[in-house]
Amino acid sequence: MITWIRGGNLVDPVKGTVEQVDVIVENGKISRMLPPGVFQEEGPGISRIEASGRMVVPGLIDMHVHLREPGHEYKETIASGARAAAAGGYTAIACMPNTAPPNDCRAVTEFILEQAERAGWVRVYPIAAISKGQAGETLTDFGELKAAGAVGVSDDGFPVVNSELMRRALEYASFYGLRVISHCEDRGLSGNGVMHEGVVSTRIGLAGIPDASEDIMVYREIALSRLTGRPVHIAHVSTAGSVDLIRRAKKKGIRVTAETAPHYFTLDHRRVIGYDTLAKVNPPLRSPEDVEAIKAGLREGVIDAIATDHAPHSSLEKEVEFDRAAFGMIGLQTALPLTLQLVRDRVLGLAEAIGKLSWAGATILGVPGGRLVEGGNADLAVIDLDYEYPFEADRILSKSKNSPFIGEVLKGIAELTMVGGKVVWEKR
């Protein structure tokens, strides 16, 4: 069985090129990549995917999602999250450990992989907890977790308060080649804050989370990375201060990588006016100046990756008073169009943007993919850059519909997603 993806424009984030190439897929792998017109075979064993006028990109890789299983299956399951990912052009997602129970032991990691295998939509890479119970006290069994299939460690959602524990995590994780991902937040400073501290929080009377709450911990991770010589990855960067710190650290050769999420370069704190709980997220939507700094960080390569921080919550957590609502928004089906907006706004080139959505995550986590090469997995997406559509709740495949972008007109969509040579998603 041969699949012939014909006439598409192949995006290569590593070479930074976009050129017309026919992609031939056999046995789940890319067997050949040929200039148009070279491949001419016809026959019953050949299925054809028409991609002219479309972009053929490496399957997107999201290094930061919350799948809520085990424990909160009413919000999302591994299957529903993986299906939403496929619809968003993703072929692989890495899920954070803050489930119930948390992914802090081999049994949970294996359970996640089994459920993902059963669901079958996209590849799922578990990220295990740094500390047992995500309690910030003792390290989890990194070696065993790695052997079970974990690709990184993070206490996402619960910042590691104890700096020594973080230091030891960096040192110990490096022995197993596990990337440490840090949720940077000084909870003492965040206090009972529910949005960015600034003129808007002052105006609408909501307790603020200062930008320094993030910056301080970003600096700590940089200092620990320098001290230990080990790499560290900063999750969901939202402030101008963080961008500045990471920029300087990178210049000094400190091994820090960083991701941001589409809402941090698309929305600012004014979106909270009206007390819309869909705009409540942690870190919070920041000021317009921060948004500009995030874009600059992406353009300059200070921020390596765009991840979604897909955080499903049901109406139980969202249809309540603002200060009682849960933090977080879903993002798997909006990340691509929102990132393509950066291309239209000339913040990023197309290959660069696709690279931040795919190659960057693959490189940081050390997982395959992120680039289409002969002999590699046929994990790819066919993208229509020009397709415009109102993003309505009925499009959302996550179990939870907590997106602040519902009702917005988005541009750009994954028409088809292929994982291991199998078409897992086709736009109706």
Partner 1 sequence: MVAQYERPSCLIEGKGVFFEESAVTKFEHKDLLGMGPLSVPEISLILDTAESLKAISARDIKKVPTLRGKSVVNFFYEPSTRTRISFDVAAKQLSADTLSLSATTSSMVKGETLLDTARNLQAMRPDLIVLRHPSSGAPHMLAKEVEAGIINAGDGINEHPTQALLDLYTIREKLGRIHGVKVVIIGDISHSRVARSNIIGLTKMGAEVTVSGPPTMMPVGIESLGVRVTPDPAQAVQGKDVVMLLRIQLERQSKVLFPSVREYASFFGLTTEMLQGANEGAIVMHPGPLNRGVEITPEVADGPYSVILDQVANGVAVRMAVLYLLIGGAKGDNVDQGR
The strand order across the sheet containing 2-6 reads 29-34, 22-26, 2-6, 46-50
Q: Is 208 in the site for partner 1 (CB under 8 A)?
A: yes
> Does residue 386 interact with partner 1 by CB under 8 A?
no
DSSP assignment of 309-330 equals -B----HHHHSS-GGGSPP---
Site for partner 1 in 252-291 (CB under 8 A): 266-268, 270-271, 273-275
Nearer to partner 1 (CB atom), residue 109 or residue 341: 341
Instruction: Candidates 322, 373, 384, 389: give the one binding partner 1 (CB under 8 A).
Output: 322
- Minimum CB distance to partner 1 smaller for 121 or for 265: 265
* Contact by Cβ (8 Å): 318, 402: yes
Contact 123, 419 (CB under 8 A): yes
Helix (H) or strand (E) holding 88: none
> By CB neighbour count within 10 A (0-12 exposed, 13-18 middle, 19+ buried), where does 149 fall?
middle
How many residues bind partner 1 (CB under 8 A)? The answer is 34
The minimum distance between CB 229 and partner 1, in angstroms, equals 37
Under the binding rule (CB under 8 A), the answer on residue 203 touching partner 1 is yes
Active-site residue, from 104, 156, 309, 379: 309
- Contact between 205 and partner 1 by CB under 8 A: the answer reads yes
Q: Rounded distance, CA 413 to CA 341, Å?
A: 12
To the nearest whole angstrom, how small is the minimum distance from the Cβ of residue 321 to partner 1?
A: 3
Tokens for 175, please give them: 């022995």
91: left (phi over 0), alpha (psi -120 to 50) or beta: alpha
Among 5, 166, 354, 410, which residue sits at the site for partner 1 (rule: CB under 8 A)?
Answer: 410
The structure tokens 């600034």 sit at 198
Burial class (CB in 10 A: 0-12, 13-18, 19+), 52: exposed
CB 410 to partner 1: min, Å: 7
In a 13 Å sphere around the CA of 236, the CA atoms on its Cβ side amount to 28
CB of 84 to partner 1, least distance (A): 19
For residues 410 and 384, the answer to whether their CB atoms sit within 8 Å is no
Q: Residue from 12, 76, 197, 221 that binds partner 1 (CB under 8 A)? A: 197
| Structure tokens given for 356 | 């931040």
**174 vs 314, beta carbon nearer partner 1:** 314
Question: What are the residues whose beta carbons fall under 8 Å from the beta carbon of 393, sequence distance 6 or more?
Answer: 401, 403, 406
List 134, 154, 182, 201, residue binding partner 1 (CB under 8 A) = 201
Closest distance to partner 1 from the beta carbon of 345 (Å): 9
Among 321, 346, 394, 428, binds partner 1 (CB under 8 A): 321
- For the segment 326-345, give every residue that binds partner 1 (CB under 8 A): 338, 341
Q: In the annotation, is 309 catalytic?
A: yes
Least distance in Å: CB of 390 to partner 1?
11
Burial code (b: 16+ CB inside 10 Å, e: under 16) for 391-409 equals beeebbbbbbbbbbbbeee
Please choose, from the candidates 233, 235, 214, the residue with its C-alpha nearest in 3D space to the C-alpha of residue 225: 233
Tell me whether residue 176 or residue 322 sits nearer to partner 1 (CB atom).
322
74 is an interface residue for partner 1 by CB under 8 A: no
Nearest residue to 332 via CA among 157, 94, 151, 97: 94
Closer to partner 1 at the Cβ: 139 or 212? 212
Q: Give the shortest CB-188-to-partner 1 separation in angstroms.
A: 10
Q: Which stretch binds partner 1 (CB under 8 A): 89-97, 146-154, 192-200, 351-359?
A: 192-200
Residues assigned a catalytic role: 309
**Chain residues that interact with partner 1, rule: CB under 8 A:** 191, 197-208, 210, 266-268, 270-271, 273-275, 319-324, 338, 341, 405, 408-410
